[in-house]
Amino acid sequence: MSSVPTKEVRRQGLPEAEGLTDFDYCVRQEIASARREFAPIHSVHEGLAVIREEYLELEREVFRRDIARDAIYAELVQMAAMCRRCAEDLGL
């Protein structure tokens, strides 16, 4: 996936960012990036595979010896983005 901004996101002057938490803003940015790079999700099975891949990446970060909070945050953003994208692409 794309490079996810850290929690300290600069978003002044962006009208679409108003009222969003930094996490929500990062999720929206990640979805937009994924839509530019990848075709829509076509089935629940494909969606599950994408979400599972993001979960496994998060799991690897969580179980590292030296936990990197920014890396965990980035993986959480990516997983949330793929969950939302799956629901949107499939009309759920």
pLDDT tens per residue, range 59-83: 999 999 888 888 999 999 999 999 9
DSSP state, 14? -
Residue type, 29: Q
The residue segments making up the domain with residue 45 are 21-89
The angle that helices 69-89 and 44-62 make with each other, rounded to 10 degrees, is 170
Between 2 and 57, the higher pLDDT residue: 57
> pTM for the full model?
0.78
- Whether 53 maps to a domain, the answer reads yes
Domain total of the chain: 1
Q: Is residue 3 in some structural domain?
A: no
Q: How many CB atoms lie within 10 A of CB 26?
A: 24
Looking only at Cα atoms, what is the longest distance across the chain? 40
Would you say residue 13 lies in a domain? no
